[in-house]
Structure 1
Amino acid sequence: MTVMAERTSHMTAEEFERLASTAPETVTLEFIDGRIGEKAVPDGDHETIVMWLLRQCMQSRSDLDLHTSQGLKAGAYRKGRVRPDGSLAPIAHFAGQGEWADPAGVLMTVEVTSYDSDTDRRDRQEKPAAYAAVGIPVYLLVDRDRYEVVVHTNPDREAGRYRDLHTASFGEEVVLPEPVGFTLETDALKNYAR
């Protein structure tokens, strides 16, 4: 269960980074669109989906890594700080970048919905806007509430949105277009949603 600590903020990104660095290991903070939020602690099924996707990425694109804890600078004027469930990038892409990396070169970000009250706002609205605004080519949303996978592509940086969305039900084949360039068989996802 997530306790959302949300407020409109005049905090700078640097102030947020200092605050986030002092949070206990059981708390993951994000700073999106001027608001501080606590990201839900993943449940076992959530983590199983992330590991499933990690294996798919390794089998299909051995030249890429799916990072599951790397923070990204994402949002208007780089004032946002997000920690995607996954960031697909070339091997060693984040080496030397620290806790909050520049999103340039990230090919895909991934979010898996959590069963909490702010999933709609966070994973379906704010994060796709932030990822599009920094030009991440693909945003993959594994939506456990809706039993579907949504592939967001063709980012419009100025508008902060993806122009194209493809939705597939769990069990359907999902094509991740270039620059990701492989297909997911999503039948296994049926086992990890309620």
Structure 2
Amino acid sequence: MNIIPLNFIKLLGNKKRSVQRQIHIDKKRRKGKKPLSAQKNISINIFLTNIPQNMVKKEDVFSIYSLRWQIEILFKTWKSLFGIHEVKNIKKERFECHLYGTLIQLLLCSTLAFQCRRMLYMKHQMETSEYKSISIVKEFLPLFKEIIFNRGIIIKVCKLIYHSIKLNGKKCRRQQNSTVFDILETAYKNYIAKAN
């Protein structure tokens, strides 16, 4: 049996986040719901990680941990936009073809959406919704059949997707938190660049 070393990290939350948590607890109380006992310690964040202590600063753990939400968005996209969770009773071979086709669609849409989002962020400091961006790219998928026969229109289609995401993919910001790109850039600068 392999034993994985774990690090227990206890961080004091910032005051802004503590105030937000307190407001949330107060709303629950007004609705007659009892807050969980864990919600009483609103100024403490506890993390359990297998990342070695010398690789990540204690202060960066919260930001890195917040990236886990991207995985939830990914699954939501797979289920909502591509219906990956819906499977009919079919032969194994047909299922595999359908699954591979869906995964190719996912890869194409995710790659194009990410590149457009990255360009918009780099050029205009505009953060766009991952879900909305992938949905927009998916709407343009029928045009990709024409690209096979006329490769000259690929740039035109990509520009259409880019401008559509710029116009319609804007993220609804409730809070001014660090963006995914900010966190990934910080992680890259602090950890990967040092290794080189």
What range describes the TM-score normalised by the shorter chain of this pair? under 0.3
TM-score, with normalisation over the residues of structure 1?
0.22
TM-score (norm 2): 0.22
Higher strand share: 1
Considering fraction of residues, name the structure with more helix.
2
Computing the radius of gyration from Cα coordinates, the structure with the larger value is 2
